[in-house]
């Protein structure tokens, strides 16, 4: 079946540090890949996406590149801020079949950034 | 423009009762999906509706049901509530039923006593 695996958390960083959150996936077919962010007490917000191999998604200083050869979609940011503290979810969706449009999520990674 | 709105925001029920959760999609969006998020885990897919028809169903028991109305709003119904149904229920909308990004509401926090 389809699945997403994220790096174990929580991740604790100082402000302006470099961030990497690893994400790998297993899918039958060619998925679209997403990163969502969830702030306390809120729903999920789409952070960035990539729809095919070698695509790079970017938003608000965050980046992730769709690597088909390593089935990965790692999230990076060069300099984190306290306001980036949240839970980050990697997800995939597939076109076609019974999985059409369904998002499959990883378990989430808690990020805490200290001043 | 209004985002996805869900009601109520919080709900407390007892075992055996039933519950109805409501969702209004972003204007122009025709697809609504429901997810269950248990504390500390990623959301799990329950249903997807597009143009008022069920287009996808996750691995949830028949106690869970949903429907979509002509204005594309949606209801999720859960019967015979169990303690394990305590979770954040998220609704997401998208323009179509394919791989377009899904936009989430803030969810309904359901607690079962």
Helices (H), chain B: none
Beta bridge partners of A35: A48, A90
Judged by CB atoms closer than 8 Å, whether chains meet at B42 and A42 is answered as no
Q: Tens digit of pLDDT per residue, chain A (115 long)?
A: 889 999 878 999 999 999 999 999 999 888 999 999 999 888 899 999 999 999 999 999 999 999 999 999 999 999 999 999 999 999 999 876 555 678 999 999 999 999 9
Quickly count: other Cβ atoms within 10 Å of residue B51's Cβ. Answer: 12
The pLDDT averaged over each successive group of 10 residues in chain B (113 residues) is 90 97 95 94 93 90 96 97 97 82 93 96
Q: Which of A4, A103, A106 faces B102 most closely, judged by CB atoms?
A: A103
User: How many CB pairs below 8 A link A and B?
Assistant: 69
Instruction: Give the model's pLDDT for residue A97.
Output: 59
DSSP letter at A79? S
Question: At a CB cut-off of 8 Å and minimum separation 6, what does A25 contact?
Answer: A2, A3, A4, A5, A31, A33, A71, A72, A73, A90, A92
Judged by CB atoms closer than 8 Å, whether chains meet at A103 and B58 is answered as no
């Amino acid at each position: 079946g389809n699945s997403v695996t994220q790096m174990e958390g929580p991740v604790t960083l100082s402000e302006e540090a470099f961030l990497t959150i690893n994400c790998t996936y297993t899918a039958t077919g060619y998925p679209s890949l997403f990163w969502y962010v969830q702030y306390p007490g809120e729903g999920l917000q789409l952070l960035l996406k990539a729809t095919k191999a070698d695509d790079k998604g970017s938003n608000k200083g965050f980046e992730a590149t769709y690597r088909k050869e390593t089935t990965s979609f790692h999230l990076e940011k060069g300099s984190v801020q306290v306001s980036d503290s949240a839970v980050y979810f990697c997800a995939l969706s597939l076109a076609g079949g019974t999985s059409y449009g369904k998002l499959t999520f990883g378990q989430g990674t808690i990020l805490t950034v200290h001043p | 423009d209004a985002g996805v709105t869900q009601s109520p925001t919080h709900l407390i029920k007892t075992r055996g009762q039933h519950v109805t959760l409501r969702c209004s999609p972003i204007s122009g969006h025709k697809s609504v999906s429901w997810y269950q998020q248990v504390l500390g885990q990623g959301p799990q897919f329950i249903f997807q509706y597009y143009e008022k028809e069920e287009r996808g169903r996750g691995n949830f028991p028949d106690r869970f049901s949903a429907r979509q109305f002509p204005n594309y709003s949606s209801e999720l119904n859960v019967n015979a509530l169990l303690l394990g149904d305590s979770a954040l229920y998220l609704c997401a909308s998208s323009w179509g039923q394919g791989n377009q990004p899904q936009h989430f509401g803030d969810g309904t926090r359901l607690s079962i006593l």
